[in-house]
Amino acid sequence: MLHVLTRLLPLSLLLLSATCQPRDPAATPPASTMQQLEGTWLNSREEDRGDTLVFRPNTYAFPPARGRTGFAIKPSGRFEQFDIAPTDGLATRPGTWTADGNTRLRIHLTDGQEPDYTLEILSLDKQVLKMRRL
């Protein structure tokens, strides 16, 4: 019996190592990026340049405006998109996000009113998030 186990152990280890491949580090944004990204971001459209969209935390002292669009990145892949409501308030649309490489987020809105889209992170710090919508 011991002889059979000593022959099966190397085979078992080989099979186990083949199924437990290391995760591709480029497949998801680093944890530090995700921690900085989590929160509510509103579009600072005064700072947008070309196809680069500038977002700031919802606590930022924005100049007066008739509503601001934005989104919230939440843990566990939860997402909320904020659109301007007919009464100039915010209309919240729930959805999900998934990582698409280490600088892109794939957005799916659960109401199905628009197709999925991708947000590419161009730069990020605690006060400014620059993105491109693809």
Helix or strand (DSSP H, E) at 19: helix 2-19
pLDDT of 115 higher than 50: yes
Distance CA 108, CA 73 (A): 12
Burial class (CB in 10 A: 0-12, 13-18, 19+), 71: buried
pLDDT of 101 higher than 80: yes
pLDDT of 14 higher than 80: no
Q: Give the confidence band of 117 by pLDDT, cuts at 50, 70, 90.
A: very high
Give the class (CATH, top level) of 36-133: mainly beta
Residues 6+ apart with CB under 8 A from 74: 38, 80
- Biggest alpha carbon–alpha carbon distance for the chain: 80
Which tops the pLDDT comparison, 87 or 70?
Answer: 70
Closest CA to 95 of 105, 103, 86, 85: 105
